[in-house]
């Protein structure tokens, strides 16, 4: 017993005299902890490494607003009138081609315009009959222009009028494509039916949502200003009985005022005023205490509101 006691005493002395031995005693534990951390690290190398490098992902959630589009009246056309192109139609097609298409398809239709570099698939070479996806008929080129060829760089030109799309198609067919295929009557009838060509249509105008919001706000801006100036003038009414009632029966005086300003019908007579206020209690800034108003109180509240608004 005494030996054990001495042993412990010796050990304690050793430790205080030579602190390095603490390391010797702790060494096995440090080894195990180090090994554990090492194994954990290696096993999770994938996650650890990935989290170190913040991922740069393409943000596909960006919502683009609507674009401005004027209202368009698409005039009805008879597609059979364009079966054999007139010189006017072809020169209209040429103008449109130079403005919209030659950057990719090239002035000579060979698919070698300045913007064609690096496009995969490359722009169609119109001078060859190889590899056409929709085809060389008038109706088929019309479809290409209307729908585009996603996901390639050939986008939709649906905003061009039907006659302009036909002019382009006929220009390409007459100028570049060797022996383009001709449409049967059934092809042209189908084209007419799919795109409502003989009916014509009216496409409504469109403006960006953000812009519409600004317009709505500015439309109401004058009204809002009026409410604000009314609120400021309220203090000058502080002795008015109607004003005291107004304060009692409204939780949100500003909302109540703008509600009344936006619904002018209540000015016609007292019953209309009462039903407007009562039927929308809480949403309209008034509170439940309107139900306790007596007839003469309604009258003075009404007169006060008429004076104010």
From residue 170 to residue 199, the character string flagging contacts with ligand HEC as x (rule: CB under 6 A) and all else as - is --x---------------------------
Part of the chain binding ligand HEC (CB under 6 A), chosen from 9-17, 53-61, 68-76, 150-158? 150-158
Beta strands in 93-247, from DSSP E residues, in sequence order = 201-203
Shortest Å, Cβ 105 to ligand HEC: 6
Please tell me whether the peptide bond between 77 and the residue prior to it is cis, using omega within 30 degrees of 0. Answer: no
For 279-284, the CB contacts below 8 A with 24+ separation are 282/251, 284/255, 284/256, 284/259
How big is the site for ligand HEC, counted in residues (CB under 6 A)?
24
Both tokens assigned to 35: 């090994």
Identity of the residue, 112 or 272, whose beta carbon is nearer to ligand HEC in the bound complex:
112
> Is residue 154 within the footprint of ligand HEC (CB under 6 A)?
yes
Distance CA 233, CA 227 (A): 10
> Is residue 138 within the footprint of ligand HEC (CB under 6 A)?
no
Part of the chain binding ligand HEC (CB under 6 A), chosen from 7-15, 134-142, 225-233, 261-269? 134-142
Distance CA 100, CA 143 (A): 17
Please list every residue from 51 through 110 that binds ligand HEC, using CB under 6 A.
Answer: 100-101, 103-105
Shortest Å, Cβ 262 to ligand HEC: 49
* Residue whose tokens read 């919001």: 213
DSSP letters for 35-60:
HHHHHHHHHTHHHHHHHHS------T
Residue selected from 82, 124, 137, 305 as contacting ligand HEC according to rule CB under 6 A = 124
φ/ψ of 203, rounded to 5, equals -100, 125
Identity of the residue, 108 or 134, whose beta carbon is nearer to ligand HEC in the bound complex:
134
Q: Which helix or strand (DSSP H or E) is residue 72 part of?
A: strand 72-74
> Is residue 301 within the footprint of ligand HEC (CB under 6 A)?
no
Please work out, in degrees rounded to the nearest 5, the angle formed at the alpha carbon of residue 82 by the alpha carbons of 81 and 87: 115
Shortest Å, Cβ 108 to ligand HEC: 14
Q: Which residues pair with 250 in a beta bridge?
A: 286
Task: Give me the residues that bind ligand HEC (CB under 6 A), please.
Answer: 100-101, 103-105, 115, 119, 121, 123-124, 132-135, 141, 144-145, 149, 152-154, 157, 168, 172
């Amino acid at each position: 017993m005494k030996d054990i006691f001495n042993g412990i005493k010796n050990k304690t002395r050793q430790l205080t005299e030579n602190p390095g031995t603490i390391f010797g005693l702790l060494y096995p534990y440090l080894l195990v902890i180090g090994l554990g951390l090492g194994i954990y690290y290696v096993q999770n190398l994938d996650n650890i490494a990935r989290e170190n490098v913040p991922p740069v992902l393409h943000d596909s959630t960006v919502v683009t607003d609507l674009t401005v589009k004027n209202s368009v009246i698409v005039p009805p056309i008879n597609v059979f009138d364009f079966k054999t192109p007139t010189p006017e139609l072809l020169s209209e097609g040429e103008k449109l081609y130079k403005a919209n298409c030659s950057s990719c398809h090239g002035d000579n239709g060979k698919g070698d315009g300045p913007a064609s570099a690096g496009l995969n698939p490359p722009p169609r070479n119109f001078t060859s009959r190889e590899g056409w996806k929709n085809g060389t008929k008038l109706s088929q080129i019309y479809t290409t222009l209307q729908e585009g060829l996603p996901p390639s760089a050939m986008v939709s030109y649906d905003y061009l009028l039907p006659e302009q799309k036909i002019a382009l198609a006929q220009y390409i067919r007459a100028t570049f494509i060797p022996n383009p295929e001709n449409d049967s009557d059934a092809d042209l009838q189908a084209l007419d039916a799919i795109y409502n060509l003989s009916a014509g249509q009216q496409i409504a105008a469109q403006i960006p949502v953000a812009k519409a919001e600004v317009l709505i706000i500015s439309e109401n801006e004058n009204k809002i200003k009026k409410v604000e100036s009314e609120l400021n003038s309220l203090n000058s009414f502080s002795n008015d009985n109607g004003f005291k009632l107004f304060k009692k029966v409204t939780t949100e005086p500003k909302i109540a005022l703008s509600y009344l300003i936006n619904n002018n019908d209540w000015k016609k007579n007292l019953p209309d005023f009462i039903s407007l206020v009562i039927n929308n209690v809480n949403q309209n800034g008034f509170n439940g205490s309107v139900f306790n108003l007596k007839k003469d109180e309604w009258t003075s509240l009404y007169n006060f509101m008429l004076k104010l608004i």
